[in-house]
Each structure stands twice: as structure tokens, then as C-alpha cells.
Amino acid sequence: MGRPPCCEKVGIKKGPWTPEEDIILVSYIQEHGPGNWRAVPANTGLLRCSKSCRLRWTNYLRPGIKRGNFTPHEEGMIIHLQALLGNKWAAIASYLPQRTDNDIKNYWNTHLKKKLKKIQSAVDHHQQQQPQAQNNILGSSISDSTTSNSTHHQYPHRNNVNDITSHASTTTLSLRSINQSSSSSSGGIYASSTENISRLLEGWMRTSPKSTYANLVTKPSHDREENPKGGQDQDEGCDHDLLSHEAFQSILSFDNLNNVNAASWDRSSTTNCDSSSIKQVSQTQCSTAAAIANEKDKHIIRACESTNTPPLSFLEKWLLDESAAGQVLEDRMMELSPISLV
């Protein structure tokens, strides 16, 4: 007998979320924090299944999400990480905290795959024309990033080095030089969505000024930080102006939802530190790293072990070196390894 569905299919709404539903969901999560998704539809009256609520939150409403316009640096990181981890989108997303796994997956499938294919075919074509020159190009670009280790070591899940993505180093460089007509500019959908929610809120707040969400949007962020379980009783010093679009955006921003962040980022921290795939990769790579590390690396690994913090993985060091030290990655490394990297 198969497993029962995660929710009753009858009476469950499907398809795109409305701004009203978004408001209800955000309001509920603001009050209770993410998690216990099963309870969300029951407690909010949303005619959505728990999965759908979770997905909507993690992929769309969660604070700190950046949409559209992938930067060349992000592209490079995705290409690298995809080559290294395979289609472990959640793991990849943990290195790009502002991006969701869904976003990255979509971007990979719609943009990067094609780009790499194009580049690969160009490389192949070039190789046929000038095999000697091409060997030099590939040789130098790969060795740039792999030092003395084999490609197989760099991309442990790959067996077939002919896979286009196994040439990530090459393609990354190629991508940088070709430099992208980059990126769909589809942030507009989100923007218009939040505008809609903002507009809806205007009317909604007029009728229910005492609502939790009204408290949320008018309460100074420090109050919320200090009173993570809602703190509805401390709204002195803030007026109750209607919510502007900008204000709504700021509500959804990372900084102003700190009280939820601890919980809402459970997903991201999960993928940062606890996700099995990352754990596996980190473990593998740490042992690999230990084998080849110089004194500095060994120091870092030892320090991580002694402080019980996830070690700065070989992957991260490699990415940092490779990606010209993206700020996000650096920040993440500081998070993971609160030890001096000197």
C-alpha cells in the first residue's frame, strides 16, 4: 500500500498564490516562525497543502531573497558548484544565501546549461580546427584551478571528464570573458507581487489595525528582535502610517525580520551545516584537504575541530580562490569559521 498523500487533495487550492494568501502566510510565519508546516493551513485557513506553504515561503516570501539578475560571479559559483556537487541545488544554494535552490535550478536549466553547451561546442569546434592550441588552452585553464590534483579529484561525482560541466574551470573563464548578455530580468514579477500585497495591505490594515501583521509592519525592528515571539505590546514610538511598497519590501528584507531569521534561516543553516550532502562533501573534502593541506590549512582544520565549528572546507577555500573572493562566500566563511583565518 502506498503512502497517503501529504494532504487531502479535495478542497486544496493549487496554482499561483494570491497576494492575500501571501499576507496570511507571512503574517502567520511572522508570529509563529517557519516550521510545523502541517499546522499552517489548519491555523490560517489557507486552502493550501503544507508543502505548498513551505515552498511558497522558502522560494518566494522568505526574507533576504534576491531575485533575477544573476551576477557573473554568481554564475561562476553555480557552474563551479554544479560541477563539483552535481544537481544538489539545495547544497549549491547554501553558498548563495540570497538565492533559492529553485531559482538556481531554474537558472541552471534555462540559462547556464545552454551557455555551457554553446561554449563546449565552440571549444569542440575549435579543438577540431586547432587541436594543439586547444590542448594548451584547456591544460592551462584547468591547471589554474586544480593545481596538482586530477580533475576527478576536483569533481568527485563525475566519472566522465567529457561531461561539459566537468570543464567548469574552463567554462567559467570562458563565461567571464564572453561576459554574459546576462540574466533575465524577471524580478519584476516579484516586485509587482509585493506591490500588490502592499496595496492589499493598505485596505486590510484600515479594517484591522490591531492585527498581528499590522503590528509587524509598524513595529520598529529592534522591538521585534528583542521580543521574538511577537511582542505586540511595545509599539510606542511608531506611527501607524499605511504601508508603502518600500516598507513592505523592507518587511520582507533580511534585516528587518531578525526575529524570524533564527528560525527562518533554519533551512539555510541546515543546508549550511547539517545537510547531508554538504556534510558528506565537507567530510570528504576535509579529509582530502587534510592530506594535502599546508600548515595554514592544517591549522584551520584543527581549529575547526577544537571549536566544534564546521571546518572551512576545501571546497570553500577553493571557491574563494577561484571566484576572486566573493563577498557572500567570505561572509559565509566567517559564519562557519569564527576563527581567525590568518
Partner DNA sequence: AACAGCGTCAACCGCATCCAC
Partner DNA sequence: AGTGGATGCGGTTGACGCTGT
Q: Could you list the residues that contact DNA (CB under 7 A)?
A: 2, 4-6, 13-17, 35-38, 48-52, 54-56, 59-60, 67-68, 87-91, 101-103, 105-107, 109-111, 114, 184, 186, 189-190, 266-267, 270-271, 274-277
- Residue closer to DNA by CB (options 34, 145) is 34
Q: Minimum Å distance from CB 235 to DNA?
A: 30
Residue that has been written with the C-alpha cell 572546507 in this structure:
313
Considering beta carbons, is residue 5 or 209 the nearer one to DNA? 5
Contact 230, 212 (CB under 8 A): yes
Alpha-carbon dihedral sign for residues 18, 23, 24, 25: positive
CB 77 within 8 A of CB 91: no
Write out the DSSP string of 257-306: GHHHHHHHTHHHHIIIII-HHHHHHHHHHHHHHHHH--HHHHHHHHHHHH
What residues have CB less than 8 Å from 307, skipping those under 6 apart?
Answer: 338, 339
What are the cell numbers at 225?
A: 528582535
CB closer to DNA, 50 vs 309: 50
Q: Which residues contact 314 (CB under 8 A, 6 or more apart)?
A: 285, 286, 288, 289
Nearest distance in Å: CB 159, DNA = 16
Question: How far is Cα 234 from Cα 162, in angstroms, rounded to an integer?
Answer: 62
- In three-state secondary structure terms, 177 is helix
Q: Is 98 exposed, middle or buried (0-12, 13-18, 19+ CB in 10 A)?
A: middle
* Minimum distance of DNA from residue 80's CB (angstroms): 16
Q: How many CB atoms within 10 Å of residue 70?
A: 24
Nearer to DNA, 17 or 318 (CB): 17
Shortest separation between residue 268's beta carbon and DNA, angstroms: 9
CB of 289 to DNA, least distance (A): 22
For DNA, give the closer residue by CB, 115 or 219: 115
Q: Nearest approach, Cβ of 270 to DNA (angstroms)?
A: 6
Nearest-approach distance from CB 128 to DNA, in angstroms: 25
Closer CB to DNA, residue 31 or residue 297? Answer: 31
- Which of 173, 278 has the CB closer to DNA? 278
Nearer to DNA, 56 or 332 (CB): 56
Q: How far is CA 164 from the centre of its chain?
A: 24
Q: How far is the CB of 34 from DNA (least distance, A)?
A: 8
